[in-house]
Amino acid sequence: MNKKPNLKDVAKLAGVSAITVSRVLSDPDKVSALLRQKVDSAIRDIGYIRNHAASALASKKSGVLAVIIPSLSNIVFNDVLQGIYQAANAGNMQILLGDCHYSPLQEEKLIATLLSQAPEGIVITGTAQTDYARKLLLQADIPLVQIMELTDQPIDMNIGFSHYQAAYDITQHLLQQGYRAPAFVGARMDPRTQQRLAGFKQAIADWPEPCRSFVQTTAQPSSIKLGGQLLQAVIAGSDNQCDAVFCCNDDLALGALFECKRMNLSVPKDIAICGFNDFEASALVEPAITSVASPRVEMGRRAVEMLLSAAGKGRHSVAPVDVGYSIRVRSST
């Protein structure tokens, strides 16, 4: 069996000292481009794999950031990750990525696993961590950014927008358009979806004129097919009185639109449809779907920039960053 190459082997092949190799790996910007090239070439030739955990213990720097998201298949988080990787690459950092599948218990396990790799900072989705997860994150004493939503009690740093207010505003838009029997359609019912439902209900309660409202939710994962099924349930449950549907995301909104076509319901004449997240397809279907847009790529990029600016400084008081949102009004409403 071939011997696993070590730092001394790299140094010998590159014709430099082991200390020089270590310096190139830990602080590449502080050495010349020629020296970096020699060491990088030796690493590739010999197949050396750096022990990040050992390096982190010695230098307090691992060159790694940890990121936990609830879904790798959700376009929303793909956009966020695009921004995260942009900023990480610019900062010469690597990403350790975990998918918790919307499970708080799985999130706990991922936090413990990723923290054991000595990351220099961590990005985590949402603000509804378990008590044990919060304890782990506090004890880690590294910069942390909670993303996607806002909280007045962040563990460390926070960047996102108000899902409650965005839902309130888009519901008000429906009411301003003259719809008086709107429904909320939600799937999975994670904390952000619950905030959207709360915003919908408050907008109805604040409206000065009498109006009816309906709510149809499920714990099932969101899908276009499910959107059609939930629209059917809303229409049946409202005795055909529902005249507008606010879907908690654009998957459901697209499904609702396709189901309206199948049922020969005119959108927006017979029923209005709006969604959340503003997927590309929402602007391309006919009629185009009104939706809530947020700067997801920017959010991911700024989260990493916040971590990098806080590196080595421990916990510090920073006001939550509100990236805002916009209502993209289209012909579906």
- CA atoms of 44 and 40, how far apart (whole Å): 6
* Helix boundaries (H) for the chain: 7-14, 18-26, 33-46, 52-59, 75-90, 104-115, 131-140, 163-176, 191-206, 224-237, 250-262, 296-310
Q: Do 243 and 179 contact (CB within 8 A), yes or no?
A: yes
Q: Which residues contact 65 (CB under 8 A, 6 or more apart)?
A: 88, 93, 94, 95, 96, 119, 120, 121, 122, 123, 304, 307
Please indicate whether the domains covering 7-50 and 64-161+296-324 agree at the CATH topology level.
Answer: no
Rounded Cα distance, 24 and 35, in Å: 8
Instruction: Place 55 in a pLDDT band, splitting at 50, 70 and 90.
Output: low
Q: Indicate the CATH number for domain 163-293.
A: 3.40.50.2300
Residue 108 Cα distances to 62, 73, 103, 116, 234, angstroms? 22, 21, 9, 13, 36
Q: What are the residue ranges spanned by the domains of the chain? A: 7-50, 64-161+296-324, 163-293
Q: Give me the mean pLDDT over the 310-327 stretch.
A: 83
At residue 205's C-alpha, the angle toward residues 202 and 206, to 5°, is 85
For position 2, what pLDDT does the model report? 56
**Cα dihedral 84, 298, 184, 229 in deg (nearest 10):** -50
State the pLDDT at residue 317.
Answer: 66
CA distance 80 to 304: 11
The reported pTM is 0.84
pLDDT, residue 23, reads 84
150: DSSP letter: -
The residue with tokens 């307090």 is 60
pLDDT value at 118 more than 70: yes
d(CA 56, CA 197): 44
- Token representation of residue 22: 């270590």
**Is residue 56 pLDDT above 80, yes or no?**
no
Sheet holding 121-125, edge to edge: 94-99, 64-69, 121-125, 144-149, 157-161, 321-322
Q: What is the DSSP string of 240-254?
A: T---EEEESSHHHHH
120 pLDDT band (50/70/90 cuts)?
very high
User: According to the model, what pLDDT value does residue 305 have?
Assistant: 96
Is residue 84 within 8 Å of residue 78, measured between CB atoms?
no
Q: How many residues can be counted in the chain?
A: 333
Asked which of 15-24, 85-94, 251-260, 308-317 is least confident by mean pLDDT, the reply is 308-317
Q: What are phi and psi of 292, to 5 degrees?
A: -95, 125
pLDDT in tens, 89-112: 999 999 999 999 999 999 999 999
Count Cα neighbours of 248 within 13 Å in the Cβ-side half-sphere.
Answer: 30
Overall average pLDDT of the 154-176 stretch: 97
Cα–Cα distance for residue pair 260/185, rounded to 1 Å: 15
The answer as to CATH 1.10.260 being correct for domain 7-50 is yes
**What CATH number is given for 64-161+296-324 in this structure?**
3.40.50.2300
Q: What is the pLDDT of residues 167-226, one digit of tens each?
A: 999 999 999 999 999 999 999 999 999 999 999 999 999 999 999 999 999 999 999 999
